[in-house]
Every structure is written in structure tokens, then in C-alpha cells.
Amino acid sequence: MAPASLRFTDATFGPAGSMPSTICSSIFRLAMFSSVCGQLLGDSETDRVQDLMSRYPLIDGHNDLALQLRRHYHNLLSRVDLQHLPSMATDIARLRAGRVQTQVFAAYVLCGAQEKDAVRLTLEQLDVIRRMCTEYTDMELVTTAEGLRGAESRGKIACVLSIEGGHSLDSSLPTLRMFYLLGVRSMALTHNCNTPWAGSSSDLYNFYQRENNTLTLFGQAVVQEMNRLGMIVDLSHSSWETARAAISVSKAPVVFSHSSAYAICNHSRNVPDWLLHELKKNRGLIMVTLFSDFVACEGQANVSSVADHFDHIRNTIGAEFIGIGGDYEGVLRFPLGLEDVSKYPVLIKELLRRKWPEQEVAGVLRQNFLRVFDEVEKVRDELRLSPPGEAQIAPEEVDHPCRLVLRPPRPQAPTSAPSSGPPRFLSVALLLPASLLALH
């Protein structure tokens, strides 16, 4: 039976076209009750997300802030306040708001530098990341899984250095080792271009076209040396053939630092189911990315679109092989509701709404990445007695005009004895106006 306040009788109704005050009062109380319940439910969900992310703050697998610092500020950190960068999607204040405790920052240089000055440009990008992670007290540069955990206990945003694209090596294992000594702990084998030793998922560039778009023998040596050093092998941007070959060679788990599910959006940068199964065998990690073009192949992406990728990968290989790699600052279009790094709680709320257990969400947030990092370091320790790799790429595989081929200098033809008087360069200098000489 309905409550007395909502029970109607013949005497309840007044004149035609009117509603008695008792009914209006009851409806008003019911509406208020529904509104309050909705607010309490919303507050409860938000509190649940904040509580979970305070206990398991996010490790984000990929961010290109350093690229934007070069583009907009020429890497001049003195002109930047990293606490607040309203023109970008990443700053310290919003990392805090998004509960991002660890950010993997990419040192990325354009593929056009491959046969030019890629190594120098990469060093400059590593320098700016190291500076911002040491000059700002909110941040801390870390190089180990234990260091990452320690940064969390100190309330710091941990910075992990990565290189996005094997073209930064100029096909040199010694260069790889020097990058490791600078603190680099992850490297993507390719970006949007092939290297002489690995195939890319993209056909934007014509570098090193081969029928077999996979790892060469030297590419396998790169993966093996990364295992020996304790550097995470990143397969985002690699061709599927390269990814499969790298997984078969690697003794340690690998990651796709910012890729999503091909079954949901059939873009070549995403990972097909058969490759997901190979990743599971490797105990690796796919860190779902948020770039709209990789999330929704058609239409406007939103938070639900992103969660669909998480659901599919979870149903295919399990939640323990999933992480998050936003790719903020690397691309321009993000799903509605996920426009910057402060919005990560919105995504976590959607996963919880879809009945993901909190422990699985905790894995996605950080535990899965920590497990991979730990296992990479375990393989490093097992290989500690192995000597550094000495594989060298064949000159014909990496032939380009900016690579010096070491050979003895040619004998110089004898020249006539110099004439008396001032040296030739001095004679020229004496003819220059004094005002021009003053510039030097």
C-alpha cells in the first residue's frame, strides 16, 4: 500500500484543472528525494574514484611535453612555468589533479632527422626532460622500479625517460648504452619511419623500404642489448611483423606504450587480437592510448569509446596486461571529456561503472606497469655477466652521406714552398675593412 502522504481518495481532487496542495507537496518531496539521491550517488562514485586513485595513482606510459617545449619555447625552460601551461594539455597542476604519479616522458625527434642530426636532437630532448624533472621540486627523475615507488612515498611526480623512435640511435649499440647512462629506461623501436633494422607501422616516409618489414639481425641485437641493460622495449609505432619478432627475441616483457585495440578501431597503430595473445605470452603490457583517431575510426570519440578498448582487451587477454598511455602533447584530438591530463579520473569512473573490480583497475592504474618494470630489471640482473653487445650494422644497410666511413686519409700531393711575406689568410684579412674585422 502506498504511504499515506501519497494515497489518493475522491476527496483528494479539487476543482477541475487544479491539483491540491497535498499532491503538489508530495511530488515536490519525491523530486527532491530523487535529486538528493542522484547527487549522493554521484558524490559517492567520485569519492570512490578519488580513494582508489589516491591508493593507486596513475602511471601514464607516454607524454610528449618535451616536443612542445621545443616547438614553442626552443627548450628554454627559463621562459616556462611548468606549474601552469594553459595552452597545453599537460602541466604540474593538472598532473596532480589527474592523479598522475608517474609520467613516462618521450624524447622524440622527427623522422626527417634520421639521416642527419637525430642523435644530437635526442640528446637535447633528454636534457630538457632531465632539467624539468630535477629543477621542479614537484618532480623526481627515476631510473628504477624501486625509485618509482620511493617517489610515490615522497609525494613526487616520478619522471621516466623514454626515446620515441630507434632512428635516434643511428644504428649504434654504443649510442644505446650512452642513452641508458643518461637515464633512459624505455625506447620505441620505430616511430613513423623504418630504421635500417626495424619496420614501422606507418608508410609516411620512404626510409629503408624492404619487402620483409620486420627486425633484421641487427634489430634483434638491439632488443637483446636492451634486455641486458634493463631497458623496456616499446613496440608502439612498430609494424606487426616487427612487434612479433621483438616479442619472440625479448627475454623480458615488452610494452605498447600508447596503442589501442585494432578490433575496435582498425588503424595500423592499434594491436590486433592475434598480437595481443603473443603479448600475453610475453607477460607484456598494452597501454591504451587516447588519440581520437585511434579510439574511434568514425565519429567523435568519447569516454565510452575509450572504455570499449579496455573492455575488449580485458575480454581477450585479461586486465593484468593493460595500462594507460595517453599520448598527450603528441597529438591534437582527444575524446570528449578527456581533453587533458587532469581528466583521467573520468575514465576510471567509467571503468568502475562498467563493473570492473577495483583490483583490476588498480592494475591498470599502476600495478601492471610496476610488474613489467620489475621483470625487466630481473632479466637485467640475470644477464649481468653477459658482455656488452658488439654487433655492428653493415655499412651498406645504413649508407647515407652524414655517416663518416673511417679510412686512412689520402696522401697529399707535394706543394711548392710558400712564398715569403705574410700568410695568405692574413693578406686577405688586411684588405677587409676594420669595421668588419671588429665583428669577430
User: Distance of CA 212 to CAs 239, 247, 250, Å?
Assistant: 11, 17, 20
Which active-site residues does the annotation give?
62, 64, 164, 191, 237, 258, 327
Average the pLDDT over each of 26-30, 196-200, 209-213, 312-316 and give the range with the smallest value. Answer: 26-30
Q: What is the CATH number of the domain that holds 336?
A: 3.20.20.140
What pLDDT sits at residue 76? 98
By the 8 A CB rule, do 3 and 33 touch? no
Residue 328 counted as domain residue: yes
> Percent of the chain at pLDDT above 70?
84
Name the grid cell of 317: 587477454
Helix and strand tally (H, E) in the chain? 16, 9
pLDDT over 90 at 213, yes or no: no
The model's pLDDT over 324-346, given as tens digits with 9 standing for 90+, comes to 999 999 999 999 999 999 999 99
Number of Cβ within a 10 Å radius of residue 95 = 26
Q: Residue 22: inside a domain, yes or no?
A: no
Residue 22's pLDDT is: 52
d(CA 440, CA 431): 15
Confidence of residue 415 (pLDDT cuts 50, 70, 90): low
Phi then psi for residue 296, to 5 deg, are -125, 110
Report whether 168 contacts 180 (CB < 8 A).
no
3-state SS of 302-326?
A: EHHHHHHHHHHHHHHHCHHHEEECC
Mean pLDDT score, 289-314: 97
The mean of the pLDDT values for the chain is 88
338 part of a folded domain = yes
Of all residues in the chain, the percent with pLDDT exceeding 90 is: 77
Residue 373 main-chain phi, psi, to 5 deg: -60, -45
Total number of domains in the chain: 1
**Domain range for 120:** 51-382
- pLDDT at position 203, please? 86
393 in a domain, yes or no? no
Q: What pLDDT band is residue 133 in, cutting at 50, 70 and 90?
A: very high
SS3 282: helix
Residue with grid cell 647515407, as numbered in its chain:
400
Q: Where is average pLDDT lowest: 52-66, 97-111, 203-217? A: 203-217
- Tens digit of each residue's pLDDT (9 = 90 or more) over 41-83: 557 899 999 999 999 999 999 999 999 999 999 999 999 999 9
Residue 401 is assigned to a structural domain of this protein: no
pLDDT of 427 higher than 90: no
User: In the structure, what pLDDT confidence band is assigned to residue 353 with cuts at 50, 70 and 90?
Assistant: very high
Please report whether residue 352 resides in a domain.
Answer: yes
Domain for residue 7, yes or no?
Answer: no
- The stretch 214-233 carries a mean pLDDT of 97
Query: Over 70: is that where the pLDDT of 6 sits?
Result: no
Residue 262 inside a domain? The answer is yes
- Which of 9, 11, 6 is CA-nearest to residue 31? 6
Q: Which residue has the cell 489518493?
A: 8
For residues 44 and 322, which has the higher predicted lDDT (pLDDT)? 322
